[in-house]
């Protein structure tokens, strides 16, 4: 089988319904982003896709993903993972900074001059025992890449390879951010603290998902992923004999009423379209059948997609616990503890750019508007600092049984989609820099 035939088949296996885009068809209704995008998008897509789907590159991306998958590392322990990243960057003669935020790596491709645009991948695994039996199963007991971050790293390295081959054409500099500790909600914060976003104008991140079919790009403008917070409270009463309740102040009764009242924040106060969540997940108090305890602890989580609802929830949780405790003559202390991840809010302008560029890569028919999602992502912290957008790349494939949700011990990645992810990253950065340097239309 000759090389071009292999490439052709590979491309069509990855995106069976997107053949239109390979033949240079594009949306003539699309608003002009810049002269290049308007007139030469077919050559751009062909160029970047050919580089991403080159047989050797596609095989290399898959190999890297498998190597990382076999050696999963938890938050801020990604020493081996970052050594693989550095090894591959060195092979490509791409300069990088390390360590950033303990284990993170920040590589640079381009002119070294502004404008700067960033692409981000997360590196950490989860404390989950892999149940998938395959050749490259996790070699570390109790740890697994069950959220696809191994694939995210491989896709970003693929983008680095593509961008390196186009380096002379880049109208600025691309930062490739390999970030630790997403699952803990701390990695992005730490990277930002160490200055990775200094001078960066825009950022893009991708997450593989099972909610969309293979090769589909899904995202939305504005509120996208929920913010996530945790609370802990101690309700203090006065312990005593259960047969003489009048001599005690019963914190169990206070907690019972508090838990019910907390549910009313969502059912009676919040806008149903905001879809907030308040869940009490822990109650701890009392030791004897005939004793009223001194205090009872409760803890739980709250989520909301809009920033306004998210921060309002925290305020009301505190108020309801304290007030409800006082009704029962108790007092309460309420603490909010990390990791607290803000809602992920995509910038409208960058989102539009992502949609246009992604349509060139996967075909307009493979672009979806995602619904708001209650899951959280610490990519939100980058978006609080600079404009950017987060997007999903679908990989659901019923025939291959790639259907298990992230954080499942049966989670599997559809590896054929990896070059598409690399192409999306590379195309976003390439065209963003071009747009910034030559824009005549604005957006
Ligand atoms: Zn995850
Ligand atoms: Zn994840």
Q: Is 149 assigned a ligand-binding role in the annotation?
A: yes
- CA gap 16, 216 in Å, rounded: 11
The confidence score (pLDDT) of residue 45 equals 81
CA 8 to ligand 2 centroid distance, Å = 31
Q: Is 147 assigned a ligand-binding role in the annotation?
A: yes
For strands 217-219 and 367-369, give the pairing: parallel
Cα dihedral: 328, 331, 335, 336 (round 10):
30
Is the distance from CB of 152 to CB of 208 less than 8 angstroms?
yes
- CA gap 306, 27 in Å, rounded: 32
Tens-digit pLDDT string for the chain (443 aa): 443 333 333 333 333 333 222 222 333 333 334 434 544 566 888 899 999 999 999 999 999 999 999 999 999 999 999 999 999 999 999 999 999 999 999 999 999 999 999 999 999 999 999 999 999 999 999 999 999 999 999 999 999 999 999 999 999 999 999 999 999 999 999 999 999 999 999 999 999 999 999 999 999 999 999 999 999 999 999 999 999 999 999 999 999 999 999 999 999 999 888 889 999 999 999 999 999 999 999 999 999 999 999 999 999 999 999 999 999 999 999 999 866 899 999 999 999 999 999 999 999 999 999 999 999 999 999 999 999 999 999 999 999 989 999 999 999 999 999 999 999 999 999 999 998 876 533 33
Count of CB atoms situated within 10 Å of the CB of 346: 24
The confidence score (pLDDT) of residue 440 equals 39
Count of CB atoms situated within 10 Å of the CB of 387: 17
CA 2 to ligand 2 centroid distance, Å = 38
The confidence score (pLDDT) of residue 4 equals 39
Cis status, amide bond into 99, omega within 30 of 0: yes
The model carries a pTM of 0.84
The confidence score (pLDDT) of residue 277 equals 94
The confidence score (pLDDT) of residue 31 equals 34
Q: Is 207 assigned a ligand-binding role in the annotation?
A: yes
Beta-strand (E) ranges in 173-244? 173-179, 200-213, 217-219, 222-225, 227-236, 240-241
Q: Which two tokens stand for residue 70?
A: 């076999």
The confidence score (pLDDT) of residue 20 equals 26
- CA gap 344, 226 in Å, rounded: 6
Q: Is 145 assigned a ligand-binding role in the annotation?
A: no
- CA gap 412, 236 in Å, rounded: 47
Closest listed residue to residue 106, CA positions, set 89, 84, 81: 89
């Amino acid at each position: 089988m000759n090389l071009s035939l292999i490439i052709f088949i590979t491309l069509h296996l990855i995106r069976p319904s997107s053949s239109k885009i390979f033949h240079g068809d594009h949306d003539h209704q699309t608003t002009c982003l810049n002269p290049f995008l308007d007139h030469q998008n077919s050559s751009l897509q062909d160029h970047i896709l050919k580089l991403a789907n080159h047989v050797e590159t596609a095989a290399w991306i898959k190999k890297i993903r498998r190597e990382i998958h076999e050696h999963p590392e938890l938050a801020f322990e990604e020493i081996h993972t970052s050594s693989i990243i550095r090894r591959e960057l060195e092979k490509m003669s791409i300069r990088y900074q390390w360590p950033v935020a303990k284990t993170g790596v920040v590589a640079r491709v381009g002119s070294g001059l502004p404008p700067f645009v960033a692409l981000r991948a997360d590196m950490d695994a989860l404390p989950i025992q892999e149940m998938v039996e395959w050749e490259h199963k996790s070699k570390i007991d109790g740890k697994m890449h069950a959220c696809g971050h191994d694939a995210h790293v491989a896709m970003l390295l693929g983008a680095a390879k593509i961008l390196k081959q186009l380096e002379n054409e880049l109208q600025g500099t691309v930062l490739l951010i390999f970030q630790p500790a997403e699952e803990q909600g701390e990695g992005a914060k730490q990277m930002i603290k160490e200055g990775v976003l200094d001078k960066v104008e825009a950022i893009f991140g991708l997450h593989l998902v099972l909610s969309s079919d293979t090769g589909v790009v899904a995202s939305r403008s504005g509120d996208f992923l929920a913010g996530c917070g945790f609370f802990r409270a101690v309700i203090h009463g006065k312990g005593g004999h259960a047969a003489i309740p009048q001599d005690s102040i019963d914190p169990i009764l206070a907690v019972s009423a508090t838990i019910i009242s907390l549910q009313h924040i969502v059912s009676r106060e919040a806008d149903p379209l905001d879809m907030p969540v308040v869940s009490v997940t822990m109650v701890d108090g009392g030791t004897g059948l005939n004793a009223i305890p001194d205090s009872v602890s409760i803890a739980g989580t709250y989520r909301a997609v809009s920033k306004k609802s998210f921060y309002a929830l925290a305020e009301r949780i505190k108020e309801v616990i304290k007030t409800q405790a006082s009704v029962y003559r108790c007092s309460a202390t309420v603490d909010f503890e990390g990791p607290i991840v803000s809602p992920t809010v995509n910038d409208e302008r960058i989102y539009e750019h992502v949609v246009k560029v992604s349509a060139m890569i996967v075909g307009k028919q493979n672009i979806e508007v995602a619904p708001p999602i209650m899951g959280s992502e610490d990519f939100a912290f980058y978006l609080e600092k600079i404009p950017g957008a987060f997007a999903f790349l679908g990989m659901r494939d019923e025939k291959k049984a790639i259907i298990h949700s992230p954080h499942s011990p049966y989670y599997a990645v559809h590896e054929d989609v990896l070059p598409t992810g690399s192409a999306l990253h590379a195309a976003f950065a390439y065209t963003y820099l071009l747009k910034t340097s030559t824009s005549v239309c604005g957006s």
